[in-house]
Amino acid sequence: MAGNLRRWVRQLDRIASFPTSRSGFAKISMMPWCTFIAFDIIGDLAFGAPFGMLDKGRDECEAQLEPHGPIVLAPGAETLNRRGEVSSTLGLMLSLKPWAKWLPDPFFTNGLKSARNLHGIATVAVSKRRDSTEHATDKGNKQRHDILDMLVNAKDSKGNPMPRDELISEALTQLIAGSDTVSNTACATFYWILHGERAAPGSIVPRLQAELDAAIPANSDIASHAEVKNLPFLRRCVDEAMRLHSTTAIGLPRIVTPASGVQYQGDVFPRGTVLSVPSYTIHRDAEVWGPDVEDFKPDRWLPENLTARQKICFNPFSFGPRACVGQNVAHMELALIIGTAFHRYDFELYQQELESHEGFSKKPDEFWVGIRKRSQIPI
């Protein structure tokens, strides 16, 4: 992750060097840069190489849309968003699925096209990774060990390797799970930290920066995981942001499987019932979180303040066997991104609210801030 963080910081340094206000802040839209860093990190982790969004400064990936077809450029984040919107809609309206490709509505036609484009992006990434592995083997070089390497070397019960189409599908799952989820949450965390600071000046950002300054050397361009993984106030800020901005926009359905059904607070749900409660609803229930439920208050996560019911109700990664398997990686990324940014820069919030677009995930529409390199950071 360090290489991608350094590329991210170089781009932010470049933008910060052209201030647009008398106070020295440069105006920047942070949502794209949260997207670029998240996509390049998951590209590195899952496919062995970043997608190159940070270097190019734009949402652009190589894709192969037809078998043996030419390599073209496609917008990765936009493709993922459109695919997520149509997939969540068809998932909730299953009767439409067989007819979706014939519906004269660009929402469905563009969404289904994006699903094919996303498969094309994964196809190119997998092909490049396999080519680089074969090249390294031929040269006698040490191979890189990443998620795709484990998938390539996996064998079924008969000792057969994973078929190429299945390999691409598995890699695509990594891309879907680890890209916009992190970028959306990182952007929302920036917003809520700055929003909380604006609501109560001196209560959030100075405390966060003091904690980061004590852990990260002043001459470090980025934070390391060892430096930020156990910082309590940083973790409380991230948890509070995830409470206020749920990763998924819809409730994840669960089917009642016991023959006797399920009883909850006097209500009986028979076997086969589909139950679903959005995280947004749980995380903003005043009966659970108190009258200040809409406020950004990291100290609600202090052990002495957190109730047993609040611990149970906090579910940004869902629960049970279908819970997010990458939550530890997500926490690592968020700590590194937020820790690096607030250690290196000052920010100024330029908007009142964070509007979001809802598909399967909850994606911030835009997020404008001022950015300025902190005075104690070497030029």
Return binding residues for heme: 324
To which residue do tokens 């982790």 refer? 45
Query: What distance in Å separates the CA atoms of residue 45 and residue 333, rounded to the nearest whole number?
Result: 11
Instruction: Give the residue ranges of the annotated binding site.
Output: 324
Say if residues 310 and 288 touch (Cβ distance below 8 Å).
yes
CA 44 vs. chain centroid, Å, equals 15
H or E element: which one contains 262? strand 262-264
Query: What distance in Å separates the CA atoms of residue 38 and residue 184, rounded to the nearest whole number?
Result: 9
Query: What distance in Å separates the CA atoms of residue 191 and residue 206, rounded to the nearest whole number?
Result: 16
Residue type, 20: T
292 CB neighbour count, 10 Å cutoff: 10
Say if residues 254 and 229 touch (Cβ distance below 8 Å).
no
126 CB neighbour count, 10 Å cutoff: 24
